[in-house]
Amino acid sequence: MSAFDFGGAFPSEGGAPETRRIETVAVVGAGAWGTALAVIAAQAGRTVRLHARREDHAAALRRDRRNARHLPEAPFPDALLPTSDLREAVEGADAVLLVVPSDAVRETARALATHLAPGVPVCLAAKGVEVGTDKLMSRVVAEELPANPVAALSGPNFAGEAATGHPTAATIASAGDFGAAAEATVAVRLAVALGTESFRPYVSDDLVGVEIGGALKNVIAIACGIAVGAGFGENTRAALITRGLDEMKRLAEPLGGRRETVTGLAGIGDLALTCSSPTSRNMRLGLELGQGRRRADCFDGRPVVVEGERNALSVTDLARAQGVHLPICESVRAILHEGASISETFAALWARPLEGEPKALSLSLAHPAADKAAGHFKERMR
């Protein structure tokens, strides 16, 4: 049975919110990715209400029938209605896609509690760990919306490509019985609701693993951007991506996630994409820092939100609490938040004791050229 063979398994009208077919989707967050998901849902035949926080933004979306600021290349299907009224957006919705920055997830979920019916699933497209609490976004939403099941959508997706029909895949994860009752799980119901001829959702039961992949990939992308900006080549970037994947595995496991989950779309897939193109704000930030720009001067001085910058703190705080060492993420934290020198930080990263690569091979050997690393990186990064 394929992910799209559930067809008539859901009651389209009536029935409990947690079992009926998803026909009406509310997308909360009208940035590039929220807009893209709203367009995709409408292309999939759903009725969609896209919530923008400001009325002037919502009015522009209604007038232009596209998001001229964030996603001008994707015209709105007729079934997509922009609004700034949160109640109007979610009232009667069969599912909510929550697509706001990670630091706004708790506040937004709390606002949703006033309007959202019990049992209506909330699917997170926000990626990160809450600063100060070390909680994954699914835990944050569960605390604010205890009567609503939670899912997460993640994968190697640039908004413009996904919304304009480039073949795209993503993972949707939730809890539930994926055996005989698979059609009742939130992940399957959302996959069926959002699948189009070009947008292909895969289903997972590992919510933690999917979230860890999404949280760490932005931090690793900043490291890759720094390396590229400093003039290092593909060897360096490939090493950072590969060892970054290992950091995802290390953190997912003690939190209950599965190592194999991060070898999929929400892990290595999203990581490879985000670390490979300045279209990613995370990689672009690193790229500009590696070229010697001050943080305040990056993005031409505009106040651009970069999730990996925030998550460099929250991810490493979470890892430290779990007794897990993440050398690349710690390096990004040191550069962004502790005033560390890029050349000295990268030298220290490369001069760490030599290790075995398989997890079962527990080795730690003094690096034979550790004393030369600082001079080498300082010279190469001039």
Give me the residues paired with residue 82 across strands: 50
| 217 catalytically annotated | yes
Q: Considering only CA atoms, which of 290, 291, 260 is closest in space to residue 359? A: 260
User: How big is the chain, counted in residues?
Assistant: 382
Q: Is residue 119 a contact partner of residue 17, using CB atoms and an 8 Å limit? A: yes
What is the pairing mode between strands 47-51 and 80-83? Answer: parallel
What are the Cα distances from residue 10, in Å, to 14, 79, 171, 368?
Answer: 10, 22, 21, 62
Sign of CA dihedral 293, 294, 295, 297: negative
Task: Count CA atoms closer than 13 A to 105's CA, side-chain side.
Answer: 30
Q: How many C-beta neighbours within 10 Å does residue 278 have?
A: 15
Instruction: Indicate which residue of 217, 249, 359, 372 is catalytic.
Output: 217
Sign of CA dihedral 72, 67, 306, 241: negative
SS (H, E, C) 331-352: HHHHHHHCCCCHHHHHHHHHCC
Q: Is residue 343 a contact partner of residue 375, using CB atoms and an 8 Å limit? A: no
Sign of CA dihedral 238, 267, 225, 335: negative
Task: Count CA atoms closer than 13 A to 368's CA, side-chain side.
Answer: 0
Which tokens go with 37? Answer: 């998901």
Which residues does the annotation mark as catalytic? Answer: 217
